Amino acid sequence: MVPAMIYLLGMPTKVVVGTSLFQIIFVTAFTTLMHAVTNQTVDILLALLLILGGVIGAQVGTQVGVRLKAEQLRILLALLVLAVSFKIALDLLLQPAELYSVMPGVLP
């Protein structure tokens, strides 16, 4: 959505960052709630760790975003998208050492 808001809608990059995060809050909260109600399998400890990481990451990201120009933010976004794409391509093309593995000490 970020590239669409920047290039198709012409929104300023600094506004797009906040708008995207605001939208993500509602999607993730609804998805987590529906998953918890449907499957009763939400790991509370993992959820708390992700919330803590998100809060700290948001503060760091805000400070970095204030100091960078819009063009620099776009370059960082492009590099992030390329890195994730490269990682996904590697995972699709390279065969893992073990096709099937069972973690020791974990019961089914």
What's the domain count of the chain? 1
Q: Indicate yes or no: pTM above 0.75.
A: no
- Tell me the pLDDT tens digit for each residue of 18-36: 888 888 888 888 888 888 8
Domain membership of residue 62 (yes or no) is: yes
Cα–Cα distance between 41 and 4 in angstroms, integer?
34
Phi, psi of 10 (to 5 degrees): 70, 25
Domain membership of residue 33 as a residue range:
2-68
Alpha helices in the chain (DSSP H): 2-3, 13-39, 44-67, 70-93
- Tell me the pLDDT tens digit for each residue of 29-78: 888 888 888 888 777 788 889 889 988 988 888 888 888 888 888 898 89
Domain membership of residue 104 (yes or no) is: no
